[in-house]
Amino acid sequence: NAGVTQTPKFRILKIGQSMTLQCTQDMNHNYMYWYRQDPGMGLKLIYYSVGAGITDKGEVPNGYNVSRSTTEDFPLRLELAAPSQTSVYFCASRLAGEGIYEQYFGPGTRLTVT
Amino acid sequence: AQTVTQSQPEMSVQEAETVTLSCTYDTSESDYYLFWYKQPPSRQMILVIRQEAYKQQNATENRFSVNFQKAAKSFSLKISDSQLGDAAMYFCAFSTGANSKLTFGKGITLSVRP
């Protein structure tokens, strides 16, 4: 299994541009998450999904959109990029249901907006 | 709202010695889960250890163990026989509810002196 994969690994955007961060998992996990990590800080939840067609906002959703058309994929869309969105973005997935299940993380995407 | 506090931004330990990383959290929930994640310079998030709040017994994974004090809302990580590969950022995290969203602390940077 590849686990959780993210593309691209790095990206530089100009202010006002848009882009989609891709996330794919091959573990048949229903739950998927997007986090951002600002320098010297912990991860903060942007959006999450508990299954195909179901998404919900996390702690810091402004400026982002998501969709979940398949179990495997959970892309994160940035519209009108701003310098405040400079961060490292992590996608994660886990088994469904309440419990001590581990979240598996992708390798992250480092995004710089200038 | 749940919060996780890691008050020590940095710690240092001599190789082969023992170090304890502190974490406190705040929640009104009675059933929840606690995690320690390691983030080496590669940026990959790696689960170190996890603990269910309803379990009295402290979790142990090889050289890693926790001191879980539910009444004090404290969840510290002890690393025994520290190795150079333990040098990383360590995050304490908390989850509750069916959606199991993770709330992270700010992290602590651990350096290991040879």
Ramachandran area for residue A51 (φ above 0: left; ψ -120 to 50: alpha; else beta):
left
Ramachandran area for residue A110 (φ above 0: left; ψ -120 to 50: alpha; else beta):
beta
pLDDT tens-digit profile of A53-89? 999 999 999 999 999 999 999 999 999 999 999 999 9
- Say if residue A100's pLDDT is above 80: no
pLDDT at A10: 96
Q: Judge: A50–B4 Cβ closer than 8 Å, yes or no.
A: no
Q: Judge: B101–A105 Cβ closer than 8 Å, yes or no.
A: no
pLDDT at A46: 97
List beta partners, residue B50: B35
Q: Is B101 on the interface with A (CB under 8 A)?
A: yes
Q: Residue B16: which residues within 8 A CB-CB, separation 6 or more? A: B81, B82
Instruction: Tell me the two tokens of residue B8.
Output: 């020590």
Q: Choose between A85 and A95: higher pLDDT.
A: A85
Q: How confident is the model at residue B56 (pLDDT cuts 50, 70, 90)?
A: confident
User: Least CB-CB distance to A94: which of B42, B52, B100?
Assistant: B100
- Say if residue B88's pLDDT is above 90: yes
